[in-house]
Structure 1
Amino acid sequence: MYQLVIAFITSLLLTVVASLPTNSNNLIDPEIPTDSEADNFLDIDKFANSTAFTVVENGTNLRYTFGKRVKSDRLVSQNTETNYWPTPQNVTLILQYPGSGQGAIITFVEVVVNQSSNIGLARVIAGGIGKRFMATIVEGNRTFWFNYSAHIYGI
């Protein structure tokens, strides 16, 4: 099994894990980074009880949303990344806000993914709307490319 790990730290802590297709349904890297504050701890055991995003599919574009915009919110974090592979990959993107420190109170999250297949999902695995932190997993399966743009709004 081959894994490609790309880490990028800004106001979001992002990890993309891509692996060749296997029979395993476990696409989550057990070495998920955690924040030093107890409330920001990313507990992968909570994945079973995670909250799904709303998804709108338009061909190979998937728009995942969670929460709703409110009058006084503003964009508090954003990131975009592009990835291409010569063979189909199962991709897991882990988004964690904030990357460090205390974040704004989250009101709305949007992740737009463009990938070669339309097979994917997004789930909140820690924190969420009304909290100052959030960890999210976005998956794309059997894809030659995985391009995303993530936006988090808060007050």
Structure 2
Amino acid sequence: MCKLSLFLLLAIFGCLVAESLAGVARDADVHRDIIVVKNVRDFVAQHPGLKLQRMVKQPAARATTRSLSVRYTLGARINGDRLVAQGADVFHYQARKDVSLQITYPESGAGSIVTFVELICTQDNNEGNAYVVAGGIGQRFISIVLEAKQTDDFAYQAQYFGSD
């Protein structure tokens, strides 16, 4: 009985921690349409007046003998902010290709006020960019398009920091 109680207590604590880390206000009335951007230049041409914000790209570091790690940042850590969400994914392609991927915080609803975003991309070369296409620093959501050129392996890790 004692082991079962401990297990249930840990499960409840884990749920509370996971919910607090997500930082998402669960308001059913807040909806946002997400548009998948296949080519940033085409997207800009279709939306006159749109101003993309390019994320700061830091020099690539060798991740493995075959791949590089490229770091993109936006904003700055501030007193009292915290990690509110993170995400990651890995892709492998049969042949080298241009990769474009849109990531969004939060996936739905409204999250914490975004203060800092860090993206670490692992790819075959240093060619690529990251652009904010919606939301941003000081807002409760952000949508970013990641681009990598001529790669057959692509992975990313995203960390979003924010405050209430």
- Structure 2-normalised TM-score? 0.67
Partner of 2:13: none
Residue in 2 that maps onto 1:21: none
Find the aligned partners of 2:98 and 2:142 in 1 and give their Cα distance.
Answer: 23
Structure 2 counterpart of 1:103, from 111, 127, 132:
111
- Name the counterpart of 2:80: 72
- The correspondence for 1:52, drawn from 51, 54, 63, is 54
Write the mapping of 1:1-155 to structure 2, written as runs, cut at 5 A: 27=39, 45=47, 48-59=50-61, 60-155=68-163
- Cα deviation 1:35-88 (Å, max 9, x = unaligned): xxxxxxxxx727951001001122421100000001101111101111111200
Identity %: 34
Q: In structure 2, how many angstroms separate the alpha carbons of the residues matched to 1:108 and 1:46?
A: 27
In structure 2, relative to structure 1, the CA distance for the partners of 1:96 and 1:46 (3 Å cut) is farther
Aligned residue pairs, count: 123
**Larger helix proportion, structure 1 or 2?**
2
Structure 2 unmatched ranges of 5 or more: 1-21, 25-33, 62-67
TM normalised by structure 1 equals 0.70
Partner amino acid, structure 2, of 1:78: Q
Judged with a 3 Å threshold, the aligned counterparts in structure 2 of structure 1 residues 61 and 15 are, in CA distance, closer, same or farther, namely farther
Q: Which has the larger radius of gyration?
A: 2
Secondary structure of the 2:109 match is coil
**After the TM superposition, which parts of structure 1 deviate over 4 Å for at least 4 consecutive aligned residues?**
14-17
Unpaired segments of 5 or more residues in structure 1? 1-10, 18-25, 33-43
